[in-house]
């Protein structure tokens, strides 16, 4: 089988740290081009300033990975789908729910693969956590997701702009795990968003969700955490407590702890290849819908200015 010729669009931190190595490590793909108006590209790989230049004047490609900020992703995805090119959407899959729904309908109509990637779902502990919880009664869930934005998003102005999600940019990773491992649907009850005076997006948030059987779910998001970082989900059940830590990489069950190798992006690219070979799409908007609900329903409080 010929490798899938893929182009990476947007060469920011996530593309350099994760996408390019994962593509290089997967024989199902060959890197055919890169696209960025800012970056000169990689030696030996065709490079274009825009996706239009690539699609209308570059080498033939089968797929694109869109690693740009979410605010500009719809037009890029729509253009790729129009040319029959499969699309991998970094998370969050768009700046709004409606644009992702529109893309999903479009992909179904033209028979092209659209993949809304949630990398945290591929963390090592997540699949076994889901399997273990499937048979349990969920009593209570606590999510603590506290990190230092200066370390993880240095100088990323777009993340503070409308559509950039603020602290929900990491928080949506926790929600992508939550909605994947819990056996019942979850909905928002209450949210308090802390917005720096000089920014449009929250730097911290406290949220309460419930599942449809009534289990309480508490979520604590904070981007002001210096020192040790926390990415933990604790689920109390009728059979004891499950804990996912290190963003889902480490799973602790009543019987002990499992440490496994981190293979999030390799997992995503294996999945993308399978979707393309199978002629299917995978576009789950549930995590983004919960974030939109927090913006819709949440109370806002103004907090001290944030400067990089």
Active-site residue list: 91
Minimum CB separation of residue 80 from its own copies in Å reads 14
Minimum CB separation of residue 255 from its own copies in Å reads 32
Q: Which of 186, 217, 235, 283 binds its own copies (CB under 8 A)?
A: 186
Minimum CB separation of residue 167 from its own copies in Å reads 14
Q: Which of 220, 258, 262, 286 binds its own copies (CB under 8 A)?
A: 286
Q: Is the CB of residue 262 less than 8 Å from the CB of residue 124? A: yes
Q: Kindly indicate which of the ranges 60-68, 128-136, 149-157, 183-191 contains the residues binding its own copies, using the contact rule CB under 8 A.
A: 183-191
Q: How many residues bind its own copies (CB under 8 A)?
A: 32
Cβ closest to its own copies, residue 106 vs residue 218: 106
Cβ closest to its own copies, residue 4 vs residue 291: 291
Cβ closest to its own copies, residue 111 vs residue 278: 111
For the chain, the three-class secondary structure string (H helix, E strand, C coil) is: CCCEEEEEECCCHHHHHHHHHHHHCCCCEEEEEEECCCCCCCCCCEEECCHHHHHHHCCCCCEEEECCCHHHHHHHHHHHHHCCCEEEECCCCCCCHHHHHHHHHHHHHHCCCEEECCHHHHCCCHHHHHHHHCCCCEEEEEEEEECEHHHHCCCCHHHHCCCCCCCHHHHHHHHHHHHHHCCCCEEEEEEEEEEECCCCCCCEEEEEEEECCCCEEEEEEECECCCCCEEEEEEEECCEEEEEEHHHCEEEECCEEEECCCCHHHHHHHHHHHHHHHCCCECCCHHHHHHHHHHHHCEEEEECCCCC
Within residues 210-249, the interface with its own copies by CB under 8 A covers 212
Cβ closest to its own copies, residue 29 vs residue 209: 209
Q: Does 46 bind its own copies (CB under 8 A)?
A: no
Minimum CB separation of residue 188 from its own copies in Å reads 5
Cβ closest to its own copies, residue 11 vs residue 175: 175
Q: Does 142 bind its own copies (CB under 8 A)?
A: no
Minimum CB separation of residue 171 from its own copies in Å reads 13
Interface contacts to its own copies, rule CB under 8 A = 74, 78, 95-99, 101-102, 105-106, 162-163, 185-188, 191, 200, 212, 286, 289-293, 295-300
């Amino acid at each position: 089988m010929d490798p899938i010729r893929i182009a990476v669009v947007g060469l920011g931190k996530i593309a350099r740290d994760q996408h390019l190595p994962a593509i290089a490590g997967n024989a199902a793909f060959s890197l055919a081009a890169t696209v960025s108006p800012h970056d000169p590209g990689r030696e030996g790989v065709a490079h274009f300033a825009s996706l239009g230049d690539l699609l209308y004047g570059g080498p033939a490609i089968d797929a694109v990975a869109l690693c740009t900020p979410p605010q500009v992703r719809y037009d890029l995805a729509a253009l790729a789908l129009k040319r029959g090119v499969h699309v991998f959407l970094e998370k969050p899959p768009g700046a709004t729910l409606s644009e992702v729904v529109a893309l999903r309908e479009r992909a179904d109509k033209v028979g092209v693969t659209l993949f809304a990637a949630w990398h945290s779902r591929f963390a090592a502990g997540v699949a076994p956590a889901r399997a273990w919880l499937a048979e349990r009664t969920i009593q209570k869930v606590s999510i603590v997701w506290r990190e230092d934005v200066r370390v993880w998003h240095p100088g990323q102005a777009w993340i503070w702009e409308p559509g950039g999600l603020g602290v929900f940019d990491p928080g949506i990773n926790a929600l992508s795990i939550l909605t994947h491992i819990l056996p019942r649907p979850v909905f928002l009850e209450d949210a308090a968003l802390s917005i720096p005076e000089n920014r449009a997006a929250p730097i911290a948030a406290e949220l309460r969700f419930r599942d449809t059987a009534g289990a309480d779910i508490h979520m604590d998001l904070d981007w002001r955490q210096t020192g040790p970082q926390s990415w933990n989900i604790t689920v109390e059940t009728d059979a004891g407590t499950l804990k996912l830590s290190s963003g889902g990489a480490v799973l602790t069950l009543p019987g002990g702890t499992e440490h496994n190798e981190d293979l999030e992006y390799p997992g995503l690219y294996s999945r993308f290849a399978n979707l393309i070979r199978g002629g299917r799409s995978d576009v789950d908007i549930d995590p983004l819908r919960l974030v939109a609900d927090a913006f819709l329903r949440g109370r806002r409080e103004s907090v001290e200015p944030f400067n990089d």
